[in-house]
A and B are shown apart, each in its own frame.
Chain A
C-alpha cells in the first residue's frame, strides 16, 4: 500500500507485542451497530493514473483567455525561485512552531514577514497572518469592538462586497450593528461616513483602493473617527502600497489586506493570506500568532511565538479569536516573493499595473458610448460603463477569448452596465489594444 510501510511480517510482530490476535481486535470497542453501513469508494489508483485524471480535470478549466478579472485578486508575476524555495520539505512539512528550538526557520520567517508587511503598510505591529483578506477585516472589527467596548461599525459600501458578505455571516450572532454607507458613483461618501460615526461606533471600515479601483485619502475621516473614540480600519492592496499613501500615514489604527497579490497563485479562491497590522497600542487585542525576538541562555538570538495568552489553546472560550492556523506557508511565500522581487521590483509592478490600467481606461473611453463610472484617480483597476448590460459585454468577448472584467451589477444594483476592469504588469499593450478593438466591434 502506498505510504504505508508495514509488511505483513512486521504487522504480525507488532500485534504480538500488543498482545492481540489480529487487526480487527484493535477496533473491538466499536460495537457492530456502529460499524459503517457503507464505505463505497473507488479502488485506489497508481500515481500515474491519478495524475492523468487530474490533468484532464485541469484541462477543463479555461485559463488560456486574456483576462482582466481582478476584484481584489490579482495575477502578478511570481519569480521561479519562489516555488523552488517553498518546495523545501523543512518548510512545508513542518508543523506550527510550538517547539521553537526546532523551528527557528519558520519563526524567523514569520518575524521577517511581520517586518515586511508593517513596512509595506507603514504600521507598527503585525501578526503572522490569518485566512484571507475578508477574515482579516472581520478580526480587525472584533479588535475594535473589544478595544472600545462598543457594538456598532460603520462600513463603506466601497469595501469589497466579497469581504462584506463574510463580515455579515460572522457577526450575525454577536449582536453587532453593521451600518453600510452607500457609495456615490463608486466613491466613498465622506460626509455620510463621518455623519454615521457616533458615540456607539466601534470602528469605521474603509478600503483603498476601493472595490471600484479608486484611490482616495481617508486622513480626515480617520481624524473624525478618532475624535469620536472610534477605531479606524483600512483594507488595502499590498502591491500598490509601495506607491500609494499608506494606511499608517492616513492615521489608520488597524490596516488589513488580502495578501494573494504578493506571489500566491489565484488557485480558484485559496489558500490565500489575510494580512493584519495595527498600532502598538492595540497589540494585545490582535488575534493569531505573533513571532518575537529573544535570546537563549548563551545569549544567542532566537525567535518564539509570543503573547500566547491571547490564544485559544490557553484561553479557550475567552480567547481573542478561534483561529488556530496562520497560513504560515502563504506568509512565507509572500515574504520570499517580496525579497525576490525586491523593493524596486514591487514598485515597478505597481507602476506598470497603474500605467496599464490607465492606458486601458483611455483606450476604452475612446469607444463611443463607453465612459468611466467616475473621474477620480484609480490604481490598477477601474469601472467602465457601457451602453448595454455588462454581462452581455462579457458574453460577447468571451467568445473571442477575452475575459473583459467583472460585471458590477452582481454586487451593486443599479450598476448593471458597469464592468470592473483590472490590469497588472503581466498585461501588455497588445492585450489592451485587442480588448479595445473587440469591445468596439461588439458595441
Chain B
C-alpha cells in the first residue's frame, strides 16, 4: 500500500483554518523563516480517512483477535473508559493550571482523581505511598532506581550494584544502568530465584534486588521470605516489577510481603489500551522509608478537603515527568478500578490464573512445558524438541498462529528457556476462545510433525509474508525520503 505522502495532491483542501490577514514575514524577519514549505501531505478528509482505515485493517488488535501475548496482559480494554478520558473537563485542562495562584481549585477534579488513584493503588499493593508520574513501566523502573540511589546516598551508604535474576525483563537491567548502577545477574534454579545464588553475590555494596512475582515463567517465587531477609541484612531494597500484577490481585500485596519499591503497568493490569506501543503509565509505590524521596510534585488534601500540589520535599529525587504523568491513562485505569471494585479485582486474578492453567494443561501433552506445575497468570512452553527434530522453531509456530487469526504468544522470552513460547490468556477471554485456540495450536503442532515445510512458510494469509529484516537494517529506508 502506497504511503500517505505519495497520495498527496497539491491544492487539495483538508481541515484548514481561515486564511490569516497577515503573513509571518510581517512580524518575523525573512532570515528567521523557513525556505520552502514542509512538504507535508495535501489531501481531502476522505483521502485521509480511507488511508488510515485501510492501514488499521492490516493490524491485529484485541478487538479483532485473541492476543495471548505473555508478559503483556493483553486483556480487553473497556470502551467507556475512553469516553471518560475524553470528557472535556479532563481533556482540555492545561497542565500548568495548578501552578497558577488559585489554580488548585481550578483543577480540583483532576487533583482529586490523582489523590484517590494513589489511595487505590496503595490499598491494592500494600505500599505506603504512590507517585503517578512515571509515563511507562520502564520509566517507573528508572524512577524506582533513582529513589533507591537517593535513599542510600541519604544514609551515607556506598552502594554500587543492583541484582537481577536471569529471567528479568530486559528493561530492569537497562533502567538500573541508567540510574548509575552496575547490574549483577544471578541464575535461576527450577525456574525461580535460588536463595543460595543470591546469598553468594549479595553484599554491602548491593543497593537493591529487582524481581517480579510471579516471575516471567509465570511461577510464584516461593523463596520470597528468604529473599526479603537477605536484603534486610545488608540494607538492600527489594524492587517489584509489577508487570505480572494481574496474577495476584487480592492474593498477595507486595507491600505486606516486604517490597520497598514497586512499579505498576496500568496498561496491563488496569486495562488501558496498549495503543500499538504506548502510551502506558508506570506509577511507582514505596514503603514508608522511601516516601521522602518520591518525585515532586505530590498531591495533597487538606483538612477542609481541598486538593493542591506540594513541592517542598528536600530529599525528593526531583521531577521525572514534565507534569503529573500520563494523566489521560491514569483516568482510564481509575475508572476501571471503580467499575470492578474489590470483588471484581480479585476475580480478575482468579480467572486469569485459572485460564492460564487450563491452557497449560490442555497443551502440555503436545508441547513441552519446562516447568509444568501450577502456574500463575501465564506459562512458558518450549519448541526446542520440534526445532531439533523438524527444524520448526518457536518463530514458525508464532507465524502459523498469525495465519489462523491469532496474535502470537511472546517468543524467545524469557531468555532462560530455549525456543520459548510464553502464553498469557488473561481473564477476559472465554473458555470457548481458549478451546478454539488450543484446537488450532494442536493442529499446528501436528502439522509440524508431518509437513514442517508448511509451517515454515507461514504466514501466507496476511498482507505480507516474512519480511527481510537484514535488508531493512542495511538499507535504512526509514523515511520516504531516504
State whether these chains interact. yes
Known: A271-B278, A325-B278. A67 touches B38 (CB 8 A): no
Is A15 close to B, CB under 8 A?
Answer: yes
Is A430 close to B, CB under 8 A?
Answer: no
- CB of A112 within 8 A of CB of B82, answer no
Q: Looking at the complex, which one of A6, A35, A105, A175 makes contact with B431 (CB distance below 8 Å)?
A: A6
Known: A59-B109, A83-B86, A322-B138. A89 touches B472 (CB 8 A): no
Stretch at the interface among B44-52, B196-204, B232-240: B44-52
Stretch at the interface among A44-52, A183-191, A227-235: A44-52
Known: A60-B109, A89-B62. A324 touches B38 (CB 8 A): no
Stretch at the interface among A146-154, A308-316, A365-373, A431-439: A308-316
- CB of B106 within 8 A of CB of A271, answer no
The answer for the CA separation of A367 and B100 in the assembled complex, in Å, is 23
Contact with A along B15-33 (1 / 0, CB 8 A): 1111111111011110111
Residues in B neighbouring A27, C-beta threshold 8 A: 251, 353
Known: A59-B89, A166-B320. A90 touches B59 (CB 8 A): yes
Known: A44-B340, A358-B27. A329 touches B347 (CB 8 A): no
The answer for the CA separation of A41 and B84 in the assembled complex, in Å, is 21
Residues in B neighbouring A358, C-beta threshold 8 A: 22, 26-27
Known: A169-B146, A302-B464. A265 touches B276 (CB 8 A): no
Is A244 close to B, CB under 8 A?
Answer: yes
Q: Which of A36-66 contact B (CB under 8 A)?
A: 36-47, 50-51, 53-63, 65
Is A387 close to B, CB under 8 A?
Answer: no
- CB of B275 within 8 A of CB of A328, answer yes
The answer for the CA separation of A407 and B361 in the assembled complex, in Å, is 63
Residues in A neighbouring B69, C-beta threshold 8 A: 95
Residues in B neighbouring A115, C-beta threshold 8 A: 3, 5, 479-481
> Which of the listed residues B33, B89, B467 has the most CB atoms from chain A within 10 Å of its own CB?
B467
> Which of the listed residues B86, B112, B276 has the most CB atoms from chain A within 10 Å of its own CB?
B276
Residues in A neighbouring B51, C-beta threshold 8 A: 339
The answer for the CA separation of A339 and B248 in the assembled complex, in Å, is 44
- CB of B279 within 8 A of CB of A329, answer yes
Is B362 close to A, CB under 8 A?
Answer: yes
| A25–chain B nearest beta-carbon distance, Å | 8
- CB of B322 within 8 A of CB of A343, answer no
CB closest chain-B residue, reference A39: B250
| B26–chain A nearest beta-carbon distance, Å | 8
Known: A297-B466, A342-B40, A342-B42. A395 touches B317 (CB 8 A): no
| A48–chain B nearest beta-carbon distance, Å | 9
Is B304 close to A, CB under 8 A?
Answer: no
Residues in A neighbouring B277, C-beta threshold 8 A: 95-97, 106, 128, 289, 325-329
The answer for the CA separation of A198 and B72 in the assembled complex, in Å, is 46
Stretch at the interface among B118-126, B284-292, B383-391, B446-454: B118-126
The answer for the CA separation of A231 and B285 in the assembled complex, in Å, is 37
| B465–chain A nearest beta-carbon distance, Å | 4
- CB of A101 within 8 A of CB of B273, answer no
- CB of A11 within 8 A of CB of B253, answer no
Contact with A along B372-394 (1 / 0, CB 8 A): 00100000000000000000000
Is A246 close to B, CB under 8 A?
Answer: yes
- CB of B342 within 8 A of CB of A39, answer yes
- CB of B38 within 8 A of CB of A406, answer no
| A130–chain B nearest beta-carbon distance, Å | 9
Known: A60-B108, A325-B278. A44 touches B341 (CB 8 A): yes
Q: Which of B452-479 contact A (CB under 8 A)?
A: 459, 462-469, 471-473, 475-479
Pair count A-B, CB < 8 A: 698
Residues in A neighbouring B123, C-beta threshold 8 A: 38-41
Chain B interface bracket (under 10, 10 to 19, 20 to 34, 35 or more): 35 or more
Q: Which of B54-93 contact A (CB under 8 A)?
A: 55-65, 67, 69, 72, 74-78, 80, 82-93
The answer for the CA separation of A118 and B5 in the assembled complex, in Å, is 13
> Which of the listed residues B76, B123, B271, B340 has the most CB atoms from chain A within 10 Å of its own CB?
B340
Known: A245-B34, A267-B93, A330-B278. A306 touches B472 (CB 8 A): yes
Contact with B along A286-300 (1 / 0, CB 8 A): 000111111111101
- CB of A165 within 8 A of CB of B319, answer yes
- CB of B95 within 8 A of CB of A266, answer yes
CB closest chain-B residue, reference A283: B476
- CB of A29 within 8 A of CB of B374, answer yes
Known: A18-B354, A103-B59. A269 touches B327 (CB 8 A): yes
Residues in B neighbouring A395, C-beta threshold 8 A: 101-102
Q: Looking at the complex, which one of A6, A81, A379 makes contact with B45 (CB distance below 8 Å)?
A: A81
Known: A11-B354, A60-B108, A269-B325. A325 touches B136 (CB 8 A): yes
The answer for the CA separation of A120 and B39 in the assembled complex, in Å, is 8
- CB of A1 within 8 A of CB of B344, answer yes
Q: Which of A115-155 contact B (CB under 8 A)?
A: 115-116, 118-120, 122, 124-126, 128-129, 131-135
- CB of B463 within 8 A of CB of A302, answer yes
Residues in B neighbouring A336, C-beta threshold 8 A: 48, 52
| A230–chain B nearest beta-carbon distance, Å | 22
Residues in A neighbouring B244, C-beta threshold 8 A: none
> Which of the listed residues A19, A39, A165 has the most CB atoms from chain B within 10 Å of its own CB?
A39
Is B366 close to A, CB under 8 A?
Answer: no
The answer for the CA separation of A115 and B57 in the assembled complex, in Å, is 21
The answer for the CA separation of A352 and B18 in the assembled complex, in Å, is 9
Is B158 close to A, CB under 8 A?
Answer: no
Is B186 close to A, CB under 8 A?
Answer: no
The answer for the CA separation of A134 and B342 in the assembled complex, in Å, is 37
The answer for the CA separation of A327 and B421 in the assembled complex, in Å, is 26
Residues in A neighbouring B109, C-beta threshold 8 A: 56-61
Is A13 close to B, CB under 8 A?
Answer: yes
CB closest chain-B residue, reference A46: B339
> Which of the listed residues B38, B39, B274 has the most CB atoms from chain A within 10 Å of its own CB?
B38
- CB of A316 within 8 A of CB of B107, answer no
CB closest chain-B residue, reference A361: B27
Known: A115-B480, A406-B100. A173 touches B343 (CB 8 A): no
- CB of B35 within 8 A of CB of A249, answer yes
Residues in B neighbouring A245, C-beta threshold 8 A: 31-35
Residues in B neighbouring A57, C-beta threshold 8 A: 89-90, 109-110, 112-113
- CB of B14 within 8 A of CB of A17, answer no
Contact with B along A404-420 (1 / 0, CB 8 A): 00110010000000000
- CB of A132 within 8 A of CB of B135, answer yes
Is B260 close to A, CB under 8 A?
Answer: no
| B361–chain A nearest beta-carbon distance, Å | 5
Residues in A neighbouring B58, C-beta threshold 8 A: 103-105, 108
Is B175 close to A, CB under 8 A?
Answer: yes
Residues in B neighbouring A407, C-beta threshold 8 A: 100-101
Residues in B neighbouring A216, C-beta threshold 8 A: 32
Known: A307-B476, A351-B24. 19 other contacts (CB 8 A): A11-B354, A17-B362, A36-B252, A41-B123, A90-B63, A93-B63, A95-B69, A106-B276, A131-B321, A135-B135, A173-B146, A175-B180, A268-B90, A302-B463, A303-B467, A322-B171, A325-B136, A343-B38, A344-B42
What 3 A-B pairs are tightest by C-beta distance, nearest first?
A269-B323, A89-B63, A58-B89
A-B contact pairs, 17 of them (CB 8 A): A55-B89, A58-B87, A93-B74, A101-B399, A126-B479, A131-B139, A172-B146, A242-B40, A289-B277, A294-B472, A317-B176, A326-B277, A338-B41, A355-B20, A391-B100, A394-B100, A407-B101
